[in-house]
Amino acid sequence: DAKTTQPTSMDCAEGRAANLPCNHSTISGNEYVYWYRQIHSQGPQYIIHGLKNNETNEMASLIITEDRKSSTLILPHATLRDTAVYYCIAENSNSGYALNFGKGTSLLVTP
Partner 1 sequence: NAGVTQTPKFQVLKTGQSMTLQCAQDMNHEYMSWYRQDPGMGLRLIHYSVGAGITDQGEVPNGYNVSRSTTEDFPLRLLSAAPSQTSVYFCASSYGGRKTQYFGPGTRLLVL
User: Which residues form the interface with partner 1 (CB under 8 A)?
Assistant: 32, 34, 41-46, 49, 87, 89, 91, 93-94, 97-104
User: In the bound complex, what is the minimum distance in angstroms from residue 14's beta carbon to partner 1?
Assistant: 26
Tell me the CA distances in angstroms from 37 to 30, 40, 45, 67, one per residue in order.
Answer: 23, 10, 5, 25
User: In the bound complex, what is the minimum distance in angstroms from residue 23's beta carbon to partner 1?
Assistant: 17
- CA torsion, points 29, 32, 27, 18, in degrees to nearest 10? 140
Tell me the C-alpha distance between 39 and 18, whole Å.
16
Q: Which is nearer to partner 1, 3 or 16 (CB)?
A: 3
Q: Which is nearer to partner 1, 82 or 104 (CB)?
A: 104
User: In the bound complex, what is the minimum distance in angstroms from residue 32's beta carbon to partner 1?
Assistant: 7
User: Dihedral of CA 54/27/3/92: which sign?
Assistant: positive
Q: Which is nearer to partner 1, 5 or 93 (CB)?
A: 93
Report the candidate in 73, 70, 53, 51 with the shortest Cα–Cα distance to residue 62: 73
Q: Which is nearer to partner 1, 47 or 75 (CB)?
A: 47
